[in-house]
Structure 1
Amino acid sequence: MQIRFEHERYEMKQIGVGILGFGTVGAGVAEGLLKHRTVLAERLDVDIVLKKIADLDITTDRGVDVPKDALTTDALAVISDPGVQIVVETIGGTGIARTLVLKALESKKCVVTANKKLLAEYGREIFDTAAANNVDIYFGASVGGGIPIIRVLREGLAGNDIESIDGILNGTCNYILTRMENEGLPFDVVLKDAQKLGYAEANPSLDIDGFDTAHKACILAALAYGFQPRLDEVSVEGIRTLQGEDVAYAAAFGYRIKLLARVAKSGNEIEVGVAPTLVPMTHMLASVNDAFNAAWVKGDMSDYTMYYGRGAGRAPTASTVIGDIGDIARNLAHGETRYSRAVKTYGEGRLALRPAGEISSRFYLRFAVVDKAGAFGEIATILGRHGVSISAASQKDENVRRGFVPVVVLTHEAKAAELDAALAEIKASRVVGDDPVKLRMI
């Protein structure tokens, strides 16, 4: 491509891109590269050319005007094409996607992926392969979709000791929770609506059980602390069992329930977890509604900063992927790599994952208490015996059911293990009916 600036004209370096997977995100990336080729060249001083796209289905119309000779069903043909320097993986999952990403890296091709599951489960192998072959791997869209949180941790806050990250990182769950609060609808009803609208998958387990958010939390921990926990080491709670009455009671206390990823460091221990969490309505995260995502980051120098935007969808995710492609293309045009060692492991050996029971927090508790004198006093005594103090309590006398009264308790900060021991004793005391409800608070 020839670009003219004022009085000079020159041929800029051309970088070829191949896309593996022509679904929602892959089509969005192709559309963006074709539509914005000129503006990308003007901004980056490199000509980014879409060379090939591989997918098992190359006949369905994706609404993108791609040259027919660019489409193939052979993914290896994309990787082996000498005109392709950057391979974009938008297949998803950890099967063929892992095989092809490793093959591309071993073939000295730089890689861009938005695949958080792949990175959370096989990140070490993938990053080591990139480093061994001195090629870049970028994954900015793997957490937060259109939010540049990965770039922020890699670059913008690189001079900070990251003290904590609290994130709303799953649009499906945030959409469900927003409607449960605003419309007073039960979880199952909102989930079905979310599936009809395309916000939730036919099998929504990965989202609503918290594992999608947990994958992202593991990636953030690796970037912030040079320590990537295994998924099976992370405490994960979803929103499947969340009741509308808890959403309403939380609101009455001035809180909003959000599914939060929590990544934090204290001393030589890091905390990584996912749980429905009560957020004060005065907190900026409480105003993040519907399918939007946000990350609330505390650095020792920057203090608190927040990053907000659409966390999924064709255009927002493709936007971040194209930003990664642009970065790599500019690197290649100047004969360099920047992120072959994409995630450092400097924290391993000197940091440890804090056991879930040792994590301290304030908590929201709901008990179905026997409707008799002294019952709540016994609960308070047991909590106190285990070092859990009460900051507020409310008895819902108007909601007596089958001889049990709902009682909501907000605690001061307590260790999870101490609270769990107290709840086990309370349950055994027979002053409560159903299992107590326990939710984190910030």
Structure 2
Amino acid sequence: MVAPLKVGLAGLGTVGGSVAQLLHRQESNAPESNVLGARCGRPVRLVAVSAKAESEMQALGIPGLRWVASPQALATDPEIDAFVELMGGEGDPAKSAIEAALSSGKPVVTANKALIARHGVALATLAERSGAALNFEAAVGGAIPVVKTLREGFAGNSFDRVYGILNGTCNYILSRMESEKLSFADCLREAQRLGYAEANPTFDVDGHDTAQKIAILASLAFGVQVDPDAVYVEGISSITPEDLAAAAELGYRIKLLGVAVRTESGIEQRVHPTMVRLDSPLAQVMGVTNAVTIDPAGFSPITLVGPGAGGAATASAVVADLADIARGARVRPFARPVADLAGSRRAPMQRHEGGYYIRLLAVDRPGTFATIARHLADEQISLESIVQRRRNGGPHGGDDPDGTQSPAPIILVTYATTEDAVRKALREIKNRGVIAGNPQVIRIEKN
């Protein structure tokens, strides 16, 4: 009989507990029902755990588990063959435990996107030196096998673009805002009540969670070093129900996207609210679901859709990584030698090219629209469509209560232009005093 792969697991939160139960269920099955063992050619057995308190292990109700107080001690335990880190956080104890495991030659599986985004290159270097595997499928997209798809499924392909919906909290909020005409603040409170958003949701709604994930995907797709600081980031808090309604009328839907794309000035990595066409696959993805579109050079894009978070979904990806280790499969963490990874730098957003949705509040005075049109023309910005909304006003047929005219919303959709041109034109328009407040600008992503 082939010896089992003996696993040590650090971290027994939602994901860690789900991994432990999944491994236990598989080994408890009759041999003909143990699909994991059958696919790996050997059993995969959880033998030791580490967590904040031993009571967490006891609560699992899994007999025969051994308690190890320190994650670092577990990582180098001679009685385990593979180390799984599910504690989270970009620093210690997760970082030092993974370093200890790799240094001792033990393969590592982690779902820790923050750690891989910040220290992935250094950890991959350590893995290369020791010959140990470093697997992190669960760090991006939950149950969606996007890491394996980029790293192995498309091993012979180059890529033009990788982009997608990588944060379920933001997708849930935007979906509810659109379907129920709710404000961002109201939807955020509901997401927190349902457990889809943290008590402090800024990491999600400001786009930083998505930035870490797209930085990892950019490294896999384009061979650049993982660096979340190279990602341009905007969040979703400025999006209004009016923007979502206008997008729908124009044939679009607004999503928070992470995008990595090859451009003449380098690999552009960005996170921001984006208008995608209603007939595109990403526009159909609602609620907490994630989706990633991979755009290989030479043929049509493919889109992977599935649950991006949660215990069962993430555990599925963790166990898939363990299965590779059990089978003896080892690939380079970022698909190529670390020495071959190019430096990563933030591509200047001023050079970004694409269409734009612009919402302005135009003041009611002669020459306002001519002023707007002149400054757009000065920057050679062509308009695909112009929509003028009715004024919001009181009992005077569009007037404010004091009898003055309130600003009228104007929505502009541009043909492809540059970020720099849009920003220059809007700066001049605002300086002329013909609009109230700040313009709303949302980029349009081509299909």
Unaligned runs of 5+ in 1: 1-10
The structural deviation recorded for 1:166 is 1.6
Structure 1 CA distance, aligned partners of 2:382 and 2:298? 33
The within-5 A match list for 1:338-353 is 338-339=331-332, 344-345=337-338, 346-348=340-342, 353=346
Instruction: Answer yes or no: is 1:385 the counterpart of 2:381.
Output: no
Residues 44, 330 of structure 1: 8 Å contact kept: yes
Instruction: In structure 1, give the amino acid aligned to 2:424.
Output: A
Equivalent of 2:442, from 434, 439, 442?
Answer: 439
The structural deviation recorded for 1:119 is 0.9
Instruction: In structure 2, give the amino acid aligned to 1:39.
Output: V
Structure 2 CA distance, aligned partners of 1:394 and 1:382? 18
SS at match of 2:303: strand
Residues 43, 231 of structure 1: alpha-carbon distance in 2 compared, 3 angstrom cutoff: closer
Instruction: Answer yes or no: is 1:32 the counterpart of 2:35.
Output: no
1:79 is aligned to 75
Instruction: In structure 1, give the amino acid aligned to 2:388.
Output: Q
The structural deviation recorded for 1:420 is 0.9
The structural deviation recorded for 1:69 is 4.3
Instruction: In structure 1, give the amino acid aligned to 2:128.
Output: A
Instruction: In structure 2, give the amino acid aligned to 1:386.
Output: E
Residues 290, 62 of structure 1: alpha-carbon distance in 2 compared, 3 angstrom cutoff: farther
The structural deviation recorded for 1:27 is 0.5
Equivalent of 2:52, from 53, 56, 61?
Answer: 56
2:90 is aligned to 94
The structural deviation recorded for 1:268 is 6.3
The within-5 A match list for 1:234-313 is 234-267=231-264, 269-313=266-310
SS at match of 1:433: strand
The structural deviation recorded for 1:33 is 0.8
Unaligned runs of 5+ in 2: 28-33, 394-399
1:425 is aligned to 428
1:371 is aligned to 364
SS at match of 1:303: coil
The structural deviation recorded for 1:397 is 1.8
Question: TM-score, length-normalised on structure 1?
Answer: 0.93
1:124 is aligned to 121
Equivalent of 1:330, from 289, 310, 327?
Answer: 327
Structure 2 CA distance, aligned partners of 1:116 and 1:27? 18
Equivalent of 1:15, from 5, 18, 36?
Answer: 5
The structural deviation recorded for 1:343 is 5.3
Residues 223, 344 of structure 1: 8 Å contact kept: no
Residues 297, 306 of structure 1: 8 Å contact kept: yes
SS at match of 2:436: coil
1:140 is aligned to 137
Structure 1 CA distance, aligned partners of 2:256 and 2:354? 15
Equivalent of 1:157, from 147, 154, 158?
Answer: 154
Structure 2 CA distance, aligned partners of 1:63 and 1:190? 34
The structural deviation recorded for 1:276 is 0.3
The structural deviation recorded for 1:72 is 3.3
The structural deviation recorded for 1:60 is 4.2
Instruction: In structure 1, give the amino acid aligned to 2:245.
Output: A
Instruction: In structure 2, give the amino acid aligned to 1:418.
Output: A
1:114 is aligned to 111
Instruction: In structure 1, give the amino acid aligned to 2:5.
Output: I
Structure 2 CA distance, aligned partners of 1:83 and 1:39? 24
Residues 76, 100 of structure 2: 8 Å contact kept: no
SS at match of 1:251: helix
Structure 1 CA distance, aligned partners of 2:98 and 2:236? 33
Question: TM-score, length-normalised on structure 2?
Answer: 0.92
Structure 2 CA distance, aligned partners of 1:404 and 1:394? 14
Residues 239, 373 of structure 1: alpha-carbon distance in 2 compared, 3 angstrom cutoff: same
1:416 is aligned to 419
Residues 148, 32 of structure 1: alpha-carbon distance in 2 compared, 3 angstrom cutoff: same
The structural deviation recorded for 1:64 is 3.1
Residues 360, 104 of structure 1: alpha-carbon distance in 2 compared, 3 angstrom cutoff: same
Residues 340, 167 of structure 1: alpha-carbon distance in 2 compared, 3 angstrom cutoff: closer
Equivalenced residues, count: 427
Residues 27, 254 of structure 1: alpha-carbon distance in 2 compared, 3 angstrom cutoff: same
Instruction: In structure 2, give the amino acid aligned to 1:136.
Output: A
Structure 2 CA distance, aligned partners of 1:340 and 1:308? 23
Equivalent of 2:188, from 165, 187, 191?
Answer: 191
Structure 1 CA distance, aligned partners of 2:51 and 2:159? 40
Structure 1 CA distance, aligned partners of 2:373 and 2:322? 57
Select between 284-293 and 391-400 the one with higher mean Cα deviation: 391-400
